Structure 1
Amino acid sequence: MWGGRRLRACLVLSAVLAAAIAVRPAHAQANFDRPGSDYQSSPVPSGDPADCALMCERDRHCRAWSFNYPTDSTIGAVCWLKNSVPARVQDNCCVSGVRGAGVVEPRTGSEEVSIDRFGGDYRNFWLKGSEGEEVCKAACTEDNKCRAWTYARPGYVGKEAHCFLKKEIKPPRRKAGFISGVVR
């Protein structure tokens, strides 16, 4: 009698432990939006997606959120709180997540997301329209004088995106809306 209960208890405990080990922490998804189910929008003066995630955590009605990067310096970043969890859609405009998800910036190759390498600039220029960090990175790679680069999304330095080419490699510092890289 006791043997059967112990066996069942061990099986239940094993199943619970296996499920706990298999669960991975939830993370926000950079370059994804969750359109729909909005019940509130708020400006994010810092321009940091982590502040949007925190707004959701502090609101008991919030189930998911989407952070929209600024489109220019007059229309800043916006946080959209959602009362359900809509499906995610790939879009470079945004970072989105569900309640309880922290913001983890992607680390892909040599690009440093949400990193500014302030200083050491020898040249900078505005980027037009849909030109992104690839153009900034390519300009640095093609210039033997350039050792590192920083790309500022539209709305973080001015209306358009901006590229900074650097003759010195400066220490990285976290700054939302910026992408940097070291070339040589």
Structure 2
Amino acid sequence: MHAPRALTALLASVALCLLVVACQTADRGTSTITSADEAAEPNAEEPVEAPQMPTAEPRDTSGLESDTARPGSDYREIAMDVADPVRCKEFCNKQMRCMAFTYVRPDANQGPRCRLKHSIPDKVEGEECCVSGVNPRAQRRIAQLESRGFELDTNRPGGDFRSFEMQRAEPAQCQEACENLMDCQAFTYVRPGHKGDKAYCYLKNSVPEKVTDEDCCISGVKQAR
């Protein structure tokens, strides 16, 4: 009777040991999985860089004459949707005809305006209404025109023997018309807006005295051949 009891106790002890080993193995497996999961998670305390905003390109404000007007010689006025003198400057710099500009600040009656000029009027300082400037290519263009015999902002009144309305506002065509006529000694080109919407060309059979500071006109004397 004692032998079976001893065998039963031995078997129970072996079963208990096997159960303990199995539990320890399961615990180690669970711990390993948990560690792997934690390693896969991002570190919540690691700093995250904020997205960088795109930087605006620097704008060229050189040449702006603050609180300065250049009255006269306007050939175009632009109603602007933004109060920005730099844009007025850019309008002028992109046009071959534009020599200077005046930006007029908005007031109670009108919005901002940009006045483009076909010559370089004298500047008037202390004018809070305005910001002006000169096209950096203007001096070179003036030198080129003068080298071809054009007298800018100059009228030669009198001596007309022929005049005609021009289809294109180009003083070179008026000069060419004079060069091609034997009787022509001088010419005066009148810009659009002074005798109507079109430009005019006056051909002269003499060389009248010139009158300067006339922004209506460009004149010249027939070149010797």
Whether the 8 Å CA contact 1:68–1:79 is kept in 2: the answer is: no
Q: Whose helix proportion is higher, 1 or 2?
A: 2
Q: Structure 2 residue aligned with 1:144, among 182, 185, 198? A: 182
Aligned-residue offset at 1:138? 1.1
User: In 1, distance between residues paired with 2:218 and 2:69?
Assistant: 29
Q: Which gives a bigger RCO, structure 1 or 2 (Cα 8 Å, sep 6+)? A: 1
Pair 1:116 & 2:155 matched: yes
Unaligned runs of 5+ in 1: 1-55, 71-76
User: In 1, distance between residues paired with 2:200 and 2:75?
Assistant: 15
Corresponding position of 1:89: 94
User: In 2, distance between residues paired with 1:66 and 1:116?
Assistant: 16
Q: Structure 2 residue aligned with 1:160, among 184, 198, 211? A: 198
Pair 1:69 & 2:108 matched: no
The higher radius of gyration belongs to: 2
Aligned residue-pair number: 119
State the superposition RMSD in angstroms. 3.9
- Give deviations 1:97-117, integer Å, cap 9, x for gaps: 57476x979233201111110
Aligned-residue offset at 1:134? 1.6
User: In 2, distance between residues paired with 1:149 and 1:143?
Assistant: 11
Identity %: 27
User: In 1, distance between residues paired with 2:201 and 2:195?
Assistant: 10
Give the secondary-structure state (helix, strand or coil) at the position aligned to 1:90: coil
Aligned-residue offset at 1:131? 4.7
Give the secondary-structure state (helix, strand or coil) at the position aligned to 1:138: helix
| Counterparts in 2 of 1:79 and 1:180: CA distance versus 1, 3 Å | farther
| Counterparts in 2 of 1:63 and 1:110: CA distance versus 1, 3 Å | closer
| Counterparts in 2 of 1:64 and 1:140: CA distance versus 1, 3 Å | closer
User: In 2, distance between residues paired with 1:166 and 1:120?
Assistant: 5
User: In 2, distance between residues paired with 1:66 and 1:176?
Assistant: 8
Matches within 5 A, 1:4-19: none
